[in-house]
Amino acid sequence: MKRAALYMRVSTLDQNPDSQRHDLEQMAAQRGLEIVERYVDHGVSGTRTRRPALDEMMRDARRGHFEVLLVWAGDRLARSTRHFLELLDEFSRLNIEFVSYREQLDTAGPLGRAIIVIIGVVAELERNLLVERVRAGMRRARLEGRHIGRRPLDLDQEAIRRDRARGMSLGQLAKAYHISRTTVRRVLAPAPKGVPQPASQPQENRRPETAA
């Protein structure tokens, strides 16, 4: 007997998920499934990709707590096509069968498996397109001379060391130079052997001494 989970969602708090639960429990009984968990999101829009019950259900799915997921309709699980495809793609990778009561979609059957193959191809194509868009944006930024990534801190390390020698605390230095205490400690830390210290401020040229 396969372990099954039910996922139900209602958009408003005054709606009742009992009708969804009744249909799904009846379907599970007909298929000889053991219901091990019921997840319900109350008053949550399907457009939101993060929902308390949905997040809990996905965590349990990744831990192998159930083998079949039953939903009353596809839009109870996700409203956007992209999110729906992402979820089905992950269920496929986790070897979890997905069954929708209203659409009569069952990924355990031949048609369902064919749909999962198509979904997997579409999901992989979307991931590749996203990677290519990111790379194209980085190439365009380089051509335009824009900096990519986090800018390095421009610190006057000698000034920080002088202020430390004058008795300023780590907190005072961090506040004065708008940096974290960790950065202050890194600046004040002695350089490893073989690594030259940053060049200090140039001293004023002294007049050469003349012979008496």
For residues 20 and 120, state if they share a domain.
Answer: yes
Q: What is the model's pLDDT at position 38?
A: 97
Domain with 80 in it: what CATH number?
3.40.50.1390
Long-range CB pairs of 52-58, under 8 A, 24+ apart, other chains included: 53/7, 53/9, 54/7, 54/9, 57/5, 57/7, 58/87, 58/90
Q: Is 148 contained in some domain?
A: no
Q: Is 202 contained in some domain?
A: no
Q: What is the model's pLDDT at position 65?
A: 96
Buried b (16+ CB within 10 A) or exposed e, 84-98: bbbbbbebbeeebbb
| Low pLDDT (below 70) residues in the chain | 116, 119-120, 123, 147-153, 191-212
- Domain termination residue (choose one: 125, 146, 172): 125
Active site (annotated) includes residue 11: yes
Write down the pTM of the prediction: 0.56
The pLDDT tens digits of the residues spanning 115-124 come to 767 766 776 7
* Host domain of residue 165: 157-188
Among the listed residues 11, 80, 100, 180, the single catalytic one is 11
Give how many domains the chain has, as a whole number.
Answer: 2
Contact by Cβ (8 Å): 128, 119: no
Q: What is the model's pLDDT at position 196?
A: 57
